Amino acid sequence: MADLLVFTDKGIYCPQADVYIDPWKPVNKALITHAHSDHARSGHKQYLATLDSVPVLKHRLGSFIKIQGLAYGENITINQVQISFHPAGHVIGSAQIRLAYKGEIWVASGDYKVENDGLSGQFQPVKCHSFITESTFGLPSFKWKPQEQVYQEINDWWQINKDLGRTSIISAYSLGKAQRILNNLNTDVGPIYAHAAIENTNEVLRNQGFNIQASPKIENSGKSDKYKGAMIVAPPSAIGSAWTKKFGDYEEAIVSGWMNVRGIKRRRNAERGFVLSDHADWPGLNSAIKETGAQQIFVTHGYTEIFAQWLCEQGYDAKAVKTAFTGDEEVDLNTETV
Amino acid sequence: MKIFTNLISELSQTNSNLKKTNLLSNYFLQETDELNKLWVIALLIGKKPPRTVNTTLLRQWCAEEADIPLWLFEQNYHIVGDLAETIALILPISVSNYDLKLHECITLIQSLKNKTEPEKKEFVLDIWRNLDDDQIWIFNKLITGGFRIGVSKNIVIQSLAQAMNVEKNAIAHHLMGDWSPNKTTWSILFNFDHGSADISKPYPFYLAHAISENDLQSLVADEWTAEWKWDGIRGQLIRRNGEIFLWSRGEELITDKFPEFEQVDLGEHDFVIDGEIIGWKDDKPLDFQSLQTRIGRKNITKKIQHDTPVKIIAYDLLELDNNDIRKLPFEERRSLLEKIVTVNNHSMIILSPQLDFKDSQTLFEWRAKSREVGAEGLMLKKKNGAYHTGRKSGEMWKWKVNPYTIDAVLIYAQRGHGRRASLFSDFTFALWEGDKLMPFAKAYSGLTDEEMKEITNFVKNNTIQTFGPVSSVKIELVFELAFEGVALSSRHKAGVAVRFPRILRWRKDKNVKEANQLDDLKKLLK
């Protein structure tokens, strides 16, 4: 039997159902794992995604797109292929996509993390024969600390800055990391504000019923004292730009899995780096793959060659495949246009 | 170790030199253990304790302890870029049970020197299992012997000056030379009484910035002098109490690499001469390559001395008969230098010739002749300038000749180390030889972070084949490379090697057919 999913120059393709998963060139029917720009692109005729990600997709790609939403676990059948979406825990609305045809089951994971952040849903291991995984942090040196510990570090840092009369600015991409941080800030420390790009996304999510920490938009005015001691959450593109001048004395921090590596932290000129990621770490990737029970593994982005070789040595039939996904938080943030 | 670990982590959490200086100066004021303080200074200014455990073993032990294959460790190391950090990140998470002082830890590491391999392993694993991540990183740094964390020597000097309320230059001078916390004490190292200092101690070097167009135009010819900028090893030749010491700018004592200097005398004078050590034959400088034969060797045989004779070209006089004359105007130092060198004429010392000029036009003409005489440009010195410490603007400039340039094709890319671990930043370039591309140079620097990101995307989408960390890419991108010189080389497939290649700019306007031929490069050989 031919493979249920194949890798083409437009994206991951299911010939039987004639659908693509996260295609990077325009197609008729696109299944979207999540709304980040390297996975959800404009120009497709029809979109299929989770109900939770429909509003953000419309916000980012335009309200005119033709899109159908499915609840997690709900089935739809296209030309005998049963398709369903399952929580990936990456960002709000993110999903792994399961396709089943004549007893053969494939799962494409998009991006995922196994730790529950309270917003993105708990990653659900889905039994399958073939699993398509990311490997953004697919190296043994990436091991995350429990998230509570990192939130504590962020709040401590904020408190110290506040005591010194400084503003704290944190960079976080506007879908996912930003909400995760906002919801774990200690509101006793001081006021919280967000960059307009983030607050616009927040409003979309609040309208969907998600409970996101109130975070007034930064006003488009000159230097102001009202931000003294405040916490500002901003997208990475705003950091280090003239925009930050209005905050007077401030300190910037970057929140990313990459902050685990001192060299990267230095390159990005982060005064403070907090290690917190929306991707699975090394133990997370390994346990997630094991729990699928899959024998065949495709590694789509990240340290693909290295990770695939490691999986082969663990007894899997693993291959690295070339895709246009970056999964790279850095790239994701920099190409973000919202 | 905890105090030191916190100090290092606080230092690395700020980009501000002022904050770094204050943090360090507070540390020096608060720390009561003088041996700890000496080690902090030594480590931060780059004095490595001798390595007692082979790093190959450390890699093996770490891979075993984390239960991963060695190849995976190596791949991971390549991406993280720092061995100490890679090990700390890969080891299973542990908590801190031990409370060691910095100097105790260093002493323990040093005492491993004569231990057997199993004993070393037992010690290292025990430490790895009983310190937290951050302290393991520090421990690994100590055992692998490198400590570069973005604190310059200048910051260390400034913070000590602040903590001790002493002039910066005095601190800088006392930190020169090859002292070690093992062999000195705080009060000996910082004994500011004249005459008690170590007689081998060199002075901090005075370094120049490149001159800008503006500074060049506003130069008043009468107030300045010009000399060639030679391409050798900058050094200080010291004679004190009749004993000779030769120091490189990297503060290494290199007297034994250049035994020719051991018998140098200038009458009965004691002196400290700042100059350029240079290969010299038939009244002409040899190229820089020639000195490489000296630096790497343990024994400098008569044959090496015969094949690559050396001289020192004397630029300046810093001390004469035990008097520190660095504050005298350059003009006066120069005339003292001329006097002792010409009167006592020693074959090993050449006085750096001064170039006559009356305006910036003549300077341009001199500079254009640099390559002809084997120099790499000009040095401009103000007649009334003092000999300062470190890199300072205003009274001394360097003005190098423009580099050679060539358009080359990008053929291989490799992910960077450390700071550039997520980007492709190390590139191999090729020139045409008929219809084939011949690799001739690797270059790392010269691109902005933005350009590197763009190239990283190109590489990801246009990789033809990967060989370990190296990707061969589609022949498409052309770059203008700058370099300082070409020499024949039997070790390079192209038959020639370029010196200091770096990327000047990305020639998006050129296609690969417009890149240069290897023959164009060979024409520069002379």
> For residue B334, what are the domain limits?
206-400
Which residue of chain A has the CA closest to B422? A264
* Residue whose structure tokens are 């004078």: B269
Q: How far is B157 from chain A, CA to nearest CA, in Å?
A: 23
Q: How far is B144 from chain A (nearest CA, A)?
A: 17
Are the Cβ atoms of B453 and A140 closer than 8 angstroms?
Answer: no
Q: Which stretches in chain B have pLDDT values below 70?
A: 194-197, 417-421, 526
Residues of A within 8 A of B150 (CB-CB) are 266
Contact criterion met (CB below 8 Å) for B207 and B390: yes
Domain edges within chain A = 6-142+278-334, 147-274
Q: Which of A261, A303, A330 to mutate to test the interface with B (most CBs of B within 10 A)?
A: A261
pLDDT tens by residue, B440-452? 999 987 888 888 8
Q: Is residue B197 part of a domain?
A: no
Task: Tell me: do B372 and B321 sit in the same domain.
Answer: yes
- Determine the Cα–Cα distance for residues A311 and B507; give it in Å rounded to an integer: 41
Listed residues B332, B365, B400: the one ending a domain: B400
Mutate to test the interface with B, among A264, A303, A322 (most CBs of B within 10 A): A264
The Cα B332–Cα B385 span in angstroms is 10
In this complex, do B461 and A263 lie within 8 Å of one another by their Cβ atoms? no
Domain count, chain B: 3
Q: Do B83 and B38 share a structural domain?
A: yes
Boundary-marking domain end, from B400, B434, B449: B400
Check whether residue B339 and residue B448 sit in a common domain.
no
Same-domain pairing of B9 and B116? yes
Query: Number of residue pairs across A and B with CB atoms under 8 Å?
Result: 74
Residues B18 and B130 grouped into a single domain: yes
Architecture field, domain A6-142+278-334: 4-Layer Sandwich (3.60)
In a domain, B163, yes or no: no
Nearest CA of chain B to the CA of A79: how many Å?
A: 33
Contact A336, A200 (CB under 8 A): no
Q: Beta-carbon neighbour count of residue B358 at 10 Å? A: 9
What's B238's domain CATH number?
A: 3.30.470.30
The string over B222-250, giving b where at least 16 C-beta atoms fall within 10 Å of a residue's C-beta and e elsewhere, is eebbbbbbbbbbbbbbbbbeeebbbbbee
Residue B54, C-beta contacts closer than 8 angstroms, at least 6 positions apart: none
Residue B174 within a domain:
no
Angstroms from B9 CA to nearest CA on chain A: 10
C-beta atoms of A143 and B12 within 8 A: no
- B248 and B392 share a domain? yes
Question: What CATH number labels A147-274?
Answer: 3.40.50.10710
Mutation target vs A (from B75, B417, B451; most A CBs, 10 A cutoff)? B75
Q: Which DSSP helix (H) or strand (E) runs through B379?
A: strand B375-382
For residue range B336-391, list pLDDT tens digits in order.
Answer: 999 999 999 889 999 999 999 988 889 999 999 998 898 999 999 999 999 999 88
Q: Does B214 lie in the same domain as B120?
A: no
**Residue B452 at interface with chain A, using a CB cutoff of 8 Å:** no
Give A33: exposed, middle or buried? Use CB within 10 Å, 0-12, 13-18, 19+: buried
Final residue before a domain boundary, out of B367, B400, B433? B400
Residue matched to tokens 């990621």: A277
Residue B358 lies in a domain: yes
Residues B461 and B500 reside in one and the same domain: yes
Same-domain check for residues B248 and B332: yes
Q: What is the pLDDT of residue B517?
A: 94
Contacts of B257 (CB under 8 A, 6+ apart): B294, B295, B297, B300
B 124-163 near A (Cβ less than 8 A) = 150
> How far is the alpha carbon of A271 from chain B, nearest alpha carbon, in Å?
5
Using a CB-CB cut-off of 8 Å, the residues of chain A touching B93 are 143
Convert the pLDDT of each residue in B134-144 to its tens digit. 899 999 999 98
Task: Report which residue type is found at B437.
Answer: L
> Would you say residue B505 lies in a domain?
yes
Dig out the tokens for B47 from the structure.
């004095």
By C-alpha distance, the chain A residue nearest B421 is A264
The reply to whether B410 and B363 lie within a common domain is: no
Q: What is residue B256's predicted lDDT score, i.e. its pLDDT?
A: 84
Task: Name the residue facing A139 among B79, B150, B453 (closest C-beta).
Answer: B79
Query: Could you tell me if residue B187 is inside a domain?
Result: no
- Within this chain, do residues B392 and B416 fall inside the same structural domain, yes or no? no
State residue B104 phi and psi, 5-degree precision.
Answer: -65, -45
From first to last of its 338 residues, chain A has per-residue pLDDT tens of 689 999 999 999 999 999 999 999 999 999 999 999 999 999 999 999 999 999 999 999 999 999 999 999 999 999 999 999 999 999 999 999 999 999 999 999 999 999 999 999 999 999 999 999 999 999 999 999 999 999 999 999 999 999 999 999 999 989 999 999 999 999 999 999 999 999 999 999 999 999 999 999 988 777 778 899 999 999 988 877 788 888 888 999 999 999 998 878 877 777 789 999 999 999 999 999 999 999 999 999 989 999 999 999 999 999 999 888 876 544 433 333 22
Question: CATH code at B512?
Answer: 2.40.50.140
- Domain with B70 in it: what CATH number? 1.10.3260.10
Question: B327 and B415 share a domain?
Answer: no
